[in-house]
């Protein structure tokens, strides 16, 4: 019989939100329970009780970050009246380039990289899941006739590659003007009609 998901307590939600704010400011790579617990007004023992262990807490923090990312991305999708791939990528880039999103996106980049080099444990599957999340959102923005074709898959994969590459460059350099110009240049090619497979 499948185990039912437990509803987190108010205290668990409160501590997760506080720990998430801490992770946005300090990252996850050197996360230590003692300073985190002190910063969020708790103790390592309470955090261990609520999240199982450090890996459990990291998984909860990654899920929380993914929730923020998906909330922003899902506002683009409308299967009834898709906005088109280029318009969706343009809106996504505007969100990615906004300075107030840098802490979340640095956390995302850290988790993405860790998931690639540490495929087991707390980071397991994060990179693959986030690629699928973004591709699903971009697919929902394509007209149905394009979405279901091989060319449609290629075009949304290219859009994602451009956005991800420019994002990593932006996070490394803070050169918003240069990266935005490059994204706009590439998105002009995505505006061309898709071929039908």
- Asked if residue 122 lies in contact with residue 62, where contact means CB atoms within 8 angstroms, the answer is yes
pLDDT, tens digit (0-9, with 9 covering 90-100), for 22-69:
988 888 877 888 999 999 999 999 999 999 888 889 888 888 888 887
Cα–Cα distance between 149 and 29 in angstroms, integer?
40
Per-residue pLDDT tens digits for 80-119: 678 889 999 999 999 999 998 899 899 889 989 999 998 8
* DSSP label at residue 41: T
Residue scoring higher pLDDT (167 or 107): 167
| pLDDT (0 to 100) of residue 11 | 86
Q: Is 98 within 8 Å of 171 (Cβ atoms)?
A: no
Q: How confident is the model at residue 5 (pLDDT cuts 50, 70, 90)?
A: low
Residue partners of 82: CB distance under 8 A and separation at least 6: 140, 141, 142, 143, 144, 147
Per-residue pLDDT at 77 exceeds 60: no
Per-residue pLDDT tens for 121-139?
888 899 999 999 889 989 9
* Pair 55, 124: CB distance under 8 Å: no
27: left (phi over 0), alpha (psi -120 to 50) or beta: left
* Domain 10-190, CATH class in plain words: mainly alpha
């Amino acid at each position: 019989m499948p185990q039912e998901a437990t509803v987190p307590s108010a205290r668990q939600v409160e501590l997760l939100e506080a720990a998430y704010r801490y992770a946005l400011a300090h990252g996850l790579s050197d996360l230590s329970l003692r300073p985190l617990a002190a910063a969020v007004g708790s103790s390592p023992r309470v955090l261990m009780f609520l999240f199982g262990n450090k890996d459990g807490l990291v998984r909860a923090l990654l899920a929380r970050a993914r929730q923020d990312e998906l909330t922003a991305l899902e506002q683009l999708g409308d299967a009834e009246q898709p906005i088109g791939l280029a318009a969706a990528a343009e809106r996504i880039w505007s969100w990615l380039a906004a300075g107030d999103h840098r802490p979340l996106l640095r956390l995302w980049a850290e988790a993405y990289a860790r998931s690639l080099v540490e495929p087991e444990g707390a980071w397991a599957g994060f990179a693959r899941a986030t690629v699928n999340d973004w591709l699903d959102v971009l697919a929902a923005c394509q007209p149905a006739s394009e979405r279901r074709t091989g060319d449609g898959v290629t075009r949304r994969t290219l859009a994602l590659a451009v956005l991800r590459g420019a994002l990593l460059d932006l996070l490394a350099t803070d050169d918003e003007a240069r990266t935005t110009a490059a994204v706009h240049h590439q998105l002009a090619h995505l505006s061309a009609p898709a071929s039908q497979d």
